[in-house]
Amino acid sequence: MKEMVTTKILRLLAFVFLFFVLVFGITWLTQPSSVSQNSVEKTVEYIEPTSFGSNVYLFNVEDIYFGKVLAKFKEEHPNLRVTAITIAKQHFNSVIHGYWVNFEEK
């Protein structure tokens, strides 16, 4: 009798475990990847803050895409030359938010 109850409990625990593995596995597999080709093809996202000067831009992109986005921006603005690049961080923690890029006229 004890063995039968133990077997049922173990089967139930195995079923619950497999159910959660299946649910979380499907959820994980269906999430969009942070490194996808679609993200690279997005339009250039930048903000031109007036308080820092007319040629200072914030590029709000992930590290992996910064080079491609900067190259696209330079194609759109061939008269600008990069003079400085600074990592922009969020105010309350050290998570990288983007890059400040200083330009000057050629």
pLDDT tens digits, 82-92:
888 877 766 55
Regarding whether 8 and 44 lie in a shared domain, the answer is: no
The domain in which residue 4 lies consists of: 1-31
Expressed in angstroms, the distance from the first to the final Cα of the chain is 87
Judge contact between 97 and 59, C-beta under 8 A.
Answer: no
| Closest to 60 measured CA to CA, from 51, 52, 48 | 48
Regarding whether 74 and 88 lie in a shared domain, the answer is: yes
* pTM reported for the whole predicted model: 0.45
List of residues 6+ apart from 84 with CB closer than 8 A: 100, 101, 102
pLDDT of residue 52: 60
Regarding whether 63 and 96 lie in a shared domain, the answer is: yes
Provide mean pLDDT across the span 26-39.
58
Regarding whether 9 and 59 lie in a shared domain, the answer is: no
Domains of the chain: total:
2
Regarding whether 95 and 69 lie in a shared domain, the answer is: yes
